[in-house]
Amino acid sequence: MNKPSFISVPMETGLRWRDGAGWRYEEKMDGQFHVEELTHATTVIGELMRDGQFFAFDVLHYEGQDLRPLPLCERLTVLDGMNLPRPAVGSGGAFLASVLAAGGEGVVAKHLDPPWGVPFYKCKRRQVYYSRVTGLDQRTGSAILADRDSGEMRGRVALHGRFERVRVGSVLKVEAFGLTARGMLREARLDRDPNNAWLASF
Q: Residue 110's pLDDT is what?
A: 96
Res 194 pLDDT > 80: no
Res 1 pLDDT > 70: no
Bridge-based pairing state of the strands 6-8 and 120-124: parallel
| DSSP summary character for residue 77 | H
Distances 131 to 4, 173, 185, 187 between C-alpha atoms, Å: 30, 7, 10, 14
Partners of 120 in the β-ladder: 6
The architecture that CATH gives domain 127-201 is Beta Barrel (2.40)
Sheet holding 32-39, edge to edge: 32-39, 42-48, 54-62, 65-66
Q: Residue 20's pLDDT is what?
A: 79
Domain boundaries, the chain: 6-124, 127-201
| Per-residue confidence band for 195, with pLDDT thresholds at 50, 70 and 90 | low
What gap in Å lies between CA 36 and CA 76, rounded to an integer? 16
Counts of helices then strands in the chain (DSSP H, E): 3, 15
Fold of 6-124: D-amino Acid Aminotransferase; Chain A, domain 1 (3.30.470)
Contact (CB, 8 A) for 100 and 106: yes
Each residue's pLDDT tens digit, 162-183: 999 999 999 999 988 878 778 8
Question: Greatest CA separation found in the chain?
Answer: 59
Torsion angle of the four alpha carbons 161, 167, 169, 170, in this order, in degrees rounded to the nearest 10: -40
